[in-house]
Structure 1
């Protein structure tokens, strides 16, 4: 009798309820969909994105102020290693002034007031500024000029641009290159540093009237141009850039 009862229970266990079969099928479908969407972990997954990380990086980034600014290169001589023999430093003015001259003394004063200053890096920055100013003036780009010129010089350049536009004239200019950029004078009065350079450059420039007639210059001819420009900077300022404060006709 006991054997018959166990057999009856076994037969009852093997009997599947249709509702149970349906629930099992639904569970399998849901599991399969979740697996296809979520995938499986392999141990090489990327960490979750931190939305605040990008904001922190944006805050840490430094950017130049709006407008066009020429960053004059700074002195980047590497510091000597420990136990490395130091060679005697050459005078800062060497190659740019004669010994015992006023210019040599002035360049030494500038280097003492601003340890980052060297004539070589200054001249390289001034050449970039010269080319940009010439190009911006030809294009009538006052926004670019404003950050490179002092107020008085900017007003003169802007007035010339306005007169040119009022006459309906346009300028086509192409900068060929700078043949020479020579420091002629330098001074330090208080914290105000001043350096005058003579530029000799080659340009192709032509001015056209409103009707398209050639007014001045030659679009097919390279012209040699000499400019004497003076740049100034406050050596106590955190801004490393120099501005054009004066232009004069070459002597």
Structure 2
């Protein structure tokens, strides 16, 4: 059964697995979840990253049409799954993974990603260290999050999410001098990440399975 993230727990569990952002049920859900059709069709995307607030403007559909069938499969397999809450959790996961990579925290990345993805991160971190470089990056804002596709294959759920964000990216040398990027300008980024989880597994963790640019 899926769990729902608690806003108050996000900061305390930033070093934990994706369970902390795509998991953890609050205990305040309705005893009987809405039918799968209602929860998928009614899913909306808040305009801000405040997980406690409701959208103040007309909500946006949170997923592409092509993702609907896969989301219905996931909801039917695990009725506790909620599309809107998954999107809120994916935004927190996006920040966690980026910040862990930027600071070179390989231990945190191992808890957040599949081995092959973590290995790619580790290789990039090692190359950065060998060059004597450090990243002084900052996630300025997440402008838009949308589920691009969803599927269930052999009992494994896969959800691909597009993140449109503004990032201030700065690379410094061993002396701390800026050699690339800007401390004052943010760059528009468009990332497409895929998260996976075995349905009906006692392990509630979603793991990062793939990263790409849109």
Is the CA contact (8 Å cut-off) linking 1:203 and 1:225 kept in structure 2? yes
The answer for the alignment partner of 1:78 in structure 2 is 30
CA 1:105–1:88: 2 relative to 1, 3 Å: closer
| Structure 1 or 2: more helix by fraction | 1
1:164 Cα offset (Å): 0.3
1:152 Cα offset (Å): 0.4
Q: RMSD over aligned Cα, in angstroms?
A: 2.5
Structure 2 unaligned runs (5+)?
1-12, 43-60
Q: Secondary structure of 2:185's partner?
A: coil
Q: TM-score, normalised by structure 2?
A: 0.76
The answer for the alignment partner of 1:178 in structure 2 is 142
Q: TM-score, normalised by structure 1?
A: 0.65
- Which whole-Å CA distance do the structure 2 matches of 1:89 and 1:150 have between them? 31
Q: Which of 68, 78, 92 is equivalent to 2:40?
A: 92
The answer for the alignment partner of 1:34 in structure 2 is none
Q: Secondary structure of 2:195's partner?
A: strand
Is the CA contact (8 Å cut-off) linking 1:93 and 1:107 kept in structure 2? no
1:182 Cα offset (Å): 0.4
Does 1:207 pair with 2:167? no
- Give the greater-gyration-radius structure (CA): 1
Does 1:152 pair with 2:100? no
Q: Secondary structure of 1:184's partner?
A: strand
Structure 1 unaligned runs (5+)?
1-64, 81-85
